[in-house]
Amino acid sequence: MNCNNLLSVTLGLSLTDDYWVVSYGNNYVLSFYKIFRNILKKFVMYDKIIIIKIKKWRIIMTKFIFVTGGVVSGLGKGIAAASIGLLLKNKGLKVAVEKFDPYLNVDPGTMSPYQHGEVFVTEDGGETDLDLGHYERFIGDNLVKECSLSSGQIYSEIINKERKGDYLGGTVQVVPHVTDIIKNRIRNLAESSDADVVITEIGGTVGEIEAESFLESIRQFRSEIGGANALFIHLTLIPFLKLSGELKTKPTQHSVKELQRHGINPDMIICRSEISIPDELLDKVATFCNVDRKYVFEGIDVDTIYDVPINFHENEMEERICERLGIPTERKNIDKWKTLVNNYKNPEKEVKIAIVGKYVALADAYLSVSESLKHAGAYHKCKVNIEWVNSEDIELDGADKYLTGLSGILVPGGFGNRGIEGKIMAAKYARENKIPYLGICLGMQIAVIEFARNVCGLKDANSSEFGLFEHQVIDLMEKQVGVTNKGGTMRLGSYPCTLKENTLAYKAYGEMFIDERHRHRYEFNNTYRDILKNHGMILAGTSPDNMLVEIIELKDHPWFVASQFHPEFKSRLYKPHPLFRDFVGVAVKN
């Protein structure tokens, strides 16, 4: 049966301009779509997946971009993927982004921040790699937990299936069982997001044993959907030898050869360097790596990560991507983004704000917090100078030594009792000295503990997370009682909150009902509501049923706000989070 006959028999319709038949190998029609009153209707989906959709009265296939990294880790694959996503979205394309991590943890939720940086939480409660935060901040779309996949998730799924007997009679192997799961995740995101372009970042570095199944999967995937529908981008390093004053391409050549060993030849190479790369060296990379010269780009160090899309745009990277993938689009300017970045880079004033935590030796541990402060600073045309203060140092030397002269104090989330007393001292210092204070998650809990101890006279006030105390003003949530597994069992994701009128929080948001992302097990103990309120604490936000305290404020203080949720996960350069915006705004005036 030919394609036209199959269309007619299946749908009782003749082939017109409103339809497109896509064939692959010996498989005829894979999907049928029709435009009817501008509504997309899917009629048939067959076995093999080639995803097609209607776009501007024509049908195109979803295109796929895979971003890999070589030579060393930490080159900025996530920033590159996010920047490409921003530029493609700016051209009117719908973009979906995902991150594949080779580690055997199911997710980063149980990792120390020193191992993998912050844990980014999605709207639906996924605990994911910090790169998903970059994707959201650049592209502006909320992601879901399905946008993050680890080897741990894959092997957990396979072992569970094997124990249930799903593979009876068969040998479970990396190929096809592991690779099929990976390929299905790519397809599922394409379908669920209805994206024009799906960008997949492969975590780790080419050559690491953990990443081999992911590389094999994307090699197979491209073969299955056709080379014209997938693009391999390899981010690599051109090191600069200061002693000889030379840039060296050999590490990049070896990295590409390692990638080719897996059956993948990159279509595009982004060469990271701390200085500008001469054209003759980019020519050399193109020649030795078998890549068309127009698809070799430099990625030099910049003042801020928000400059990266601008550099890519100026080099017409998105044009080359669309050209290579056969996506007809018009060139668009990114003037709005440039204006935002210009405001960020050219402040009219400065303010100094302390982040008091116990992971401050690694800034990535509080990445979304620091970026949110920068967003708010750009809004106020103000440079936010962050003072990283170790809470354990405050315990040893006192708060005066580290917090004197600051315009704001922020205590972020965290777990465990190490450094807790130093954070409590920081909250006390902010309260007594009328310094603007923003507490996040644990930062709210320690503010409650400090207030209960030093204002309400409950000297033994503390959290049950840190032991047994007479006054456990912070206690384990009822639904957490009896929970023994650590991973994925907290109160995670977006939950609604009702704000009290005539509060700082209400003024910041400008509305009564909000939704924010959470990641915690412990909560304000309602037994102590009255005594804390009677001494001047304002319960500015609660869950809709009024059972959970979500935001606290203090009377007789210029700006003291703390939330149980994590506002930093929803801040964007073009739309700073209301709490960060107002916190920095009052700090500027302090």
Rg from Cα positions in the chain: 26
Rounded-to-5 percentages of helix, strand, coil across the chain: 40, 25, 35
* 568 noted as active-site residue: yes
Rounded Cα distance, 427 and 452, in Å: 12
Residues 6+ apart with CB under 8 A from 448: 473, 474, 524, 532, 537, 552, 562
Label residue 362 left, alpha or beta by phi (over 0 means left) and psi (-120 to 50 means alpha): beta
Rounded Cα distance, 39 and 378, in Å: 40
Kindly tell me the burial class for residue 78, based on how many C-beta atoms sit within 10 Å of its own C-beta (0-12, 13-18, 19 or more).
buried
Closest C-alpha among 106, 102, 97 to residue 73: 102
Q: Which residues of 512-532 are buried (b: 16+ CB within 10 A; e: fewer)?
A: eebebbbbbbbbbbeebbebb
Give the active site residue among 177, 557, 566, 577.
566
* 254 noted as active-site residue: no
- DSSP states of 50-103: --EEEETTEEEEPEEEEEEE-SSS-S-HHHHHHHHHHHHHHTT--EEEEEEE-S
Rounded Cα distance, 306 and 291, in Å: 27
* 535 noted as active-site residue: no
Rounded Cα distance, 475 and 461, in Å: 11
Give the active site residue among 441, 456, 497, 577.
441
Token readout for 121 is 């939480």
* Residues with catalytic function: 441, 566, 568
